[in-house]
Structure 1
Amino acid sequence: MISVLSLQEPSHKQKIAAYFSRAAQSYQHHNGLQRWCAAKLLDWLPVTTGVTADIGCGPAVNTDALLARTNDYIGLDIAAGMLSEAQRNYPSNLWLRADLEQLPFGAASIDTIYANLAVQWADDLAATLNHWLQAVRPSGCIVASTVLAGSLLPLADYFKQYTGAARHNRFYTAATLQHILSSLDGVTVQFEVEQVTVPYQSVRGMLYDLKGIGANYQPQPQQALTKKSLSQVETAMETHRTSDGALPLMWTIGFIKLTKG
């Protein structure tokens, strides 16, 4: 069952929802980074997680792993297309369409919040985490991963050089995120930063993957990528091709665990 909540979504959130809905059917063919991050987040979870909310659940990519820890699973996403795919795969589970900054849960009603590569879409991360903590019961936890500044290199630098725009969403620095986490009250914070390099055979392969997971969404309209600009980016990227023939795409990922006192 999919429940659509009556929320006033800002226009840019509607655009994000539409963008990810279009990526729903291709998502699982392009989500290698998400799977890598999920493996670490799942290790941070307790053996049993009680009432568990999967924020930014997408097409249910982590549902099996979370259902192994709980019988009370709730999948939540802003993109209707993602939830349609999730329900097709898991028709008996509860799926909610809602904004991660407006969770539809009462105070102290959730034991565990799991959010893999979702919080970078929050307009106000500090307010969002405090909102989530209100929904979590004492001794409950939040585990989340997020893309940080320093990601999508060296590709983003070349796009900025040759097109005037990095062509991706803006990300928090690790220092800014650490400051936000240190300002939270009543929680034990675990925070780690890791870098991962995903190898590709071509720039077009990188772009195909980024589009396939919706990661190239930009809040402001951009001019179409010209053949000339793409060729310039491809030529520049060739200077980074490794001895085994791969082009690197580097990500900086922040991993967060908040345990409520």
Structure 2
Amino acid sequence: MNNMNNAGSVAKQYEKTDNLDIRIAIHSKYSTNKQGFGNWIYEQYELGNGCRILELGCGSGDMWKEKIGLIGKDSSLILSDFSEGMVEEVRRKYQNYSNVSFERINIEEIPYEDASFDIVIANMMLYHVPDLRKALLEVARVLKTEGKFYSATYGENGIHTYIQSVLQENNLKGDVNIFTLQNGGALLGRYFNRVVRRNYIDSLEITDTNDLIRYIYSMGSILDIKEKNRDRLYEVFENKKDENGIIKIPKEYGLFISSGTSDR
């Protein structure tokens, strides 16, 4: 899939929160680690006093639920997304917080001066970016010398690979752009002097196959799954259930913490 087509398909699937809500719901309902990935990510943040924070690709902003009030009044948070629909969603949720603002931002063209932020966040979105080099250069540019860049992603041994392998075994197309736990460290290392990876341990145990099918079709514009294949897809995954009626799917998620811009 070329960059232009990928950008269009990503924009389409994130016009509204529906697809994202489906993906959040399956993890909430079936994850074996009940802490929750968003809660774990938040625990990794070092939010000191007086921080200026920029989140890129904030989506529906659910990770900040019950946490956004913990940001100090002397700190500020900009919630941004490429999708205007997502920006409107987080504005609706958090507009009453005086230290939170909202913007539509393309990570490849961040409209701020050099060294503007103490913290930049880009979770579960770098694998969507058409020009990753340009995006990471921009992040490094707007990050302060002692700042930190947090970027969560998935691994190559988790749910995405599982779904792709099943699709390929049954002659159903599947393709996902890659910024993973396996290659992300090397990619980030081109722009930052220090890159630390932290792993989140989890898996899925799905009992309702329809929930999994909805999850797969929520990524349809990326995976290129045709609607006519829905019944066949249901049958394929229904046959993956064990003797207890559970589809067990590995999850591999984690977070990179990058700091110190390197020579480029």
TM superposition score normalised by structure 2: 0.78
Partner of 2:57: 56
Count of residues in correspondence between the two structures: 244
In 1, Cα distance between the equivalents of 2:129 and 2:255? 16
Could you tell me whether the CA contact under 8 Å between 2:119 and 2:147 is conserved in 1?
yes
Partner of 1:4: none
Superposed, 1:199-214 pairs within 5 Å as: 199-211=205-217, 214=218
Q: 1:69 aligns with which of 55, 67, 71?
A: 71
Q: CA deviation at 1:28?
A: 4.3
Residue 233 (1) aligns with residue 260 (2): no
In 1, Cα distance between the equivalents of 2:215 and 2:172? 22
Superposed, 1:95-110 pairs within 5 Å as: 95-110=102-117
1:162-206 deviation line (CA, Å, top 9, x unaligned)? 23313x523245442232233334x32111344531221133211
Residue 31 (1) aligns with residue 24 (2): yes
**Greater displacement, 187-196 / 157-166:** 187-196
Superposed, 1:1-261 pairs within 5 Å as: 10=4, 12-22=6-16, 24-25=17-18, 27-28=20-21, 30-31=23-24, 33=27, 36-48=36-48, 50-64=51-65, 65-70=67-72, 71-92=75-96, 93-152=100-159, 153-166=161-174, 168-185=175-192, 187-211=193-217, 214-218=218-222, 221-226=224-229, 229-238=232-241, 241=242, 243=244, 245-260=245-260
Structure 2, unpaired ranges of 5+: 29-34
* SS class of match (1:57): coil
* SS class of match (1:171): coil
Structure 1, unpaired ranges of 5+: 1-8
In 2, Cα distance between the equivalents of 1:234 and 1:11? 29
Could you tell me whether the CA contact under 8 Å between 1:37 and 1:116 is conserved in 2?
no
* SS class of match (2:183): helix
Amino acid at match of 1:15: S
* SS class of match (1:102): coil
Could you tell me whether the CA contact under 8 Å between 1:37 and 1:145 is conserved in 2?
no
Amino acid at match of 2:70: A
Could you tell me whether the CA contact under 8 Å between 2:155 and 2:182 is conserved in 1?
no
Report the identity percentage: 13
